[in-house]
Structure 1
Amino acid sequence: MQELIYGCMGLGGSWSDDPYGPEQVAEASAAVQAALAAGITLFDHADIYRNGKSEQVFGEVLAATPGLRDRIRLQTKCGIRLNERGLETHYDLSRDAILERVNGSLARLQTDYVDVLLLHRPDPLADPAEVAAAVGQLMAEGKVRHLGVSNMSGAQIGALQDRLDTPVVANQLELSLLARGWLESQVLVNHPEDLAYSFPRGTLEYCAAHGVTLQAYGALARGLYTGAAPADASPADLATAALVADLAAELDTTGESVLLGWLMKHPAGIAPVIGTVNPARIQACADARRVAAAMTRAQWYGLWVTARGSNIP
């Protein structure tokens, strides 16, 4: 069954090295409780979020809430290094790095295992055999139960899967009504407009054929269609926000659930990741599954065509 995922990147305060305080722990606790009330049980992390503070504040919430760990599933990511060795960003999926980063995440989260480990970005220097060895060791030690990836094409997943003894269960990508490359690539085959989109064709089809769940980050388009319009909003953006509001009224729901329902109606089985820390906005997402079932084909296409600002071929 499709589900919503709570993305924890916004928890923990700033991205600086400044420590978090009780207010950040309280904010995390409120967000977790709002997510649970909305029926969400999968919480998404990464070792780099807020320089590790996202995992730390979540770990404090876990430790202070008896029984919570048994009610939820945790996933985290590794593979990106920030501000190390004179580089702003580089990737590292070496065996030692995977082991080091996962153990660090477990310590910050104050848990013995994560339900899913995602490899955060493709590392051109990664040796698939090393990746497989690290994942195999973590699973044998009971520290990781399932493996997924993020920001990978179907071909990249397939090449990695050839060396693994465990199936890749998830692929997290940016998918939304705003970031539509995944959808445009399906219909712009043999069309000159296809050159404007870089989404790797065949990725959705690979994931569907191999049981890889698509997780959508940025699913709410960062509030573009459900909040105050920025000064640089395009006519298509403004028209889409108006249409989202109209459909929310028509379907007796929220704009957030309209956007998420639009994603979840696609037969690829997309699981949206919600990144807001606002409890009210988290709750506003709770109706997405019902909206997906109720939304008509005409409504679904209407949102797509309005967002793209032109008709489809």
Structure 2
Amino acid sequence: MKDIEIGRSGLRGSQIALGCMRIDSLADADLAALLTAARDEGITVFDHADIYADGRCEEAFGRALDAGVVRRDEIVLQSKAGIRPGRYDLSGAHLIAAVEASLRRLRTDRLDLFLLHRPDALVDPDEVAAAFDELHAAGKVLHFGVSNHSAGQIALLAGSVRQPLVADQLQLSVAHTPLIDAGLNVNMASAASLDHDGGTLDYCRLHGITIQPWSVLQHGYFAGSLVGSAEYPALNEELSAQAGRHGVTPAAIAVAWLLRHPAAMLPVVGTTRPARVRELARAADVELTREEWYSLYLAAGNSLP
């Protein structure tokens, strides 16, 4: 698997990231097997958040780091913060405390990338900038980004923060395509022309911000896997047909659909099974044609104007 540059930061990582949202359910030996499979497939980006199992996922990963399952200097370690019970919180004090807590749990002295997990209606960009400055100057965070933020929200933050925002983690799959739909239906009198994201895809491309798709095999908001779903018979037929041609699984084709986009996205795949890691990593070996990409888009129930 080849590396890509994340944003215009100089930070390089694998084309696919392993999401660590559920690794707290694994025994240490099983987690070691999962991370070893990821390492062997060339996956070097590992995604965390402080709320994943109330920090237990970061704790489990920290034990694996201590045990030498993966080497700290060979991976890109990222985490997110800003979601608290009943509210979002991007206050400077919370961001600093959250990073320091993540570092303790992960048993590391730095995060390669730190993302603001959700927009906060009460955010003060200057307060975020001061927190970023403190974390960066202390060497606790090397690069910064956002998650689930619109173009306008990124621009608001960018007006204050001094470090480049290099990533935006957004929900995107072949069965959940609002980021793409409006761009294909410009000036059309149809629901598909409604821009729910404020031109975020184009904004990120213009400003060198790497989109990290999450829920890459889901449809809707945690509505279930798109692969094998009775709600998407045409899509699954097309996924299977393309999987047969490329010698991979339908799930790998769904990930390859994201990799085919010229925005050089970095999909986050979430699994606790080594075999699944190896299966999904094969997506990096597939280059879909333009015809195949559009065939999947249309098979998911979309239309072109």
Amino acid at match of 2:258: L
Question: C-alpha offsets along residues 176-201 of structure 1, whole Å, 9 cap, x if unaligned?
Answer: 11111011111122223336855313
Q: State the TM-score, normalized to the length of structure 1.
A: 0.88
Gaps of 5+ in 1: 14-22, 83-88
The more displaced of 66-75 and 157-166 is 66-75
> Residues 187 and 195 (structure 1 numbering): CA distance in 2 closer, same or farther, change over 3 Å?
closer
Question: C-alpha offsets along residues 187-242 of structure 1, whole Å, 9 cap, x if unaligned?
Answer: 12222333685531321111111110010001122773435x3xxx32xx122112
Give the equivalent residue in structure 2 for 1:276: 271
Question: C-alpha offsets along residues 129-173 of structure 1, whole Å, 9 cap, x if unaligned?
Answer: 110000110011110000010000111111101101110000000
Contact 1:184/1:194 (8 A) holds in 2: no
Amino acid at match of 1:224: S
2:24 matched to 1:12? yes
2:254 matched to 1:299? no
The more displaced of 279-288 and 136-145 is 279-288
Amino acid at match of 2:24: G
Q: 1:142 aligns with which of 121, 139, 142?
A: 139
Contact 2:64/2:70 (8 A) holds in 1: no
Give the equivalent residue in structure 2 for 1:226: 227
Between the aligned partners of 2:50 and 2:115, the Cα distance in structure 1 is 11
Question: C-alpha offsets along residues 13-50 of structure 1, whole Å, 9 cap, x if unaligned?
Answer: 2xxxxxxxxx5323322221111122110100000001
Contact 2:182/2:192 (8 A) holds in 1: no
Give the equivalent residue in structure 2 for 1:34: 37
2:64 matched to 1:61? yes
| Cα offset, 1:67, TM superposition | 6.2
Give the equivalent residue in structure 2 for 1:166: 163
Give the equivalent residue in structure 2 for 1:17: none
Q: 1:180 aligns with which of 155, 177, 180?
A: 177
The more displaced of 194-203 and 65-74 is 194-203
Q: CA RMSD in A?
A: 1.7
Contact 1:9/1:54 (8 A) holds in 2: yes
Q: State the TM-score, normalized to the length of structure 2.
A: 0.90
State the aligned residue count.
289
Once the two structures are aligned, what percentage of the paired residues are identical? 41
Give the equivalent residue in structure 1 for 2:240: 245
Gaps of 5+ in 2: 5-14
- SS of corresponding position for 2:99: helix
Between the aligned partners of 2:111 and 2:89, the Cα distance in structure 1 is 20
Amino acid at match of 2:19: G
> Residues 49 and 198 (structure 1 numbering): CA distance in 2 closer, same or farther, change over 3 Å?
farther
Contact 1:79/1:121 (8 A) holds in 2: yes
